[in-house]
Amino acid sequence: ETGVTQTPRHLVMGMTNKKSLKCEQHLGHNAMYWYKQSAKKPLELMFVYSLEERVENNSVPSRFSPECPNSSHLFLHLHTLQPEDSALYLCASSQEVARWGGTDTQYFGPGTRLTVL
């Protein structure tokens, strides 16, 4: 877990608040990801960044706004969230986004447990 860190680990916010989740990877990877994990649902890919450029936005509502200032840091800015957005938000990184012959192993952070009241 020390390769990918996430802060905060727990966050409680009201629907009118603005907050940000932070992810940092110390592995020298070029790709970073945001996932949402809700109870009894498969892991949902939200955003993919490769070398600080967003390569995928998986139909995520605009109340979630990602930012990747450099290849080691990834943020998820949150505003006017809904109670159904409560979930575990996981950040991951991999060496590359894709290459011929398969997908790189992804290394996950511990997650931020978000509760929207």
Partner 1 sequence: SQQGEEDPQALSIQEGENATMNCSYKTSINNLQWYRQNSGRGLVHLILIRSNEREKHSGRLRVTLDTSKKSSSLLITASRAADTASYFCATDARRGSTLGRLYFGRGTQLTVWP
- For partner 1, the binding residues (CB under 8 A) are 1, 4, 6, 40-43, 45, 48, 56, 88, 90, 92, 96-99, 101-111, 113
- Cβ at position 91, least distance to partner 1 in Å: 8
3-state secondary structure of 8: coil
- Cβ at position 15, least distance to partner 1 in Å: 23
Classify burial at 63, counting beta carbons within 10 Å of its beta carbon; exposed 0-12, middle 13-18, buried 19 or more.
middle
Q: Which is nearer to partner 1, 35 or 64 (CB)?
A: 35
Q: Which is nearer to partner 1, 18 or 99 (CB)?
A: 99
Q: Which is nearer to partner 1, 6 or 71 (CB)?
A: 6
The answer to whether 94 and 40 have CB atoms below 8 angstroms apart is: no
Task: Report CA 108 to chain centroid distance, whole Å.
Answer: 10
Give the Cβ contact number of residue 65 at 10 Å. 15
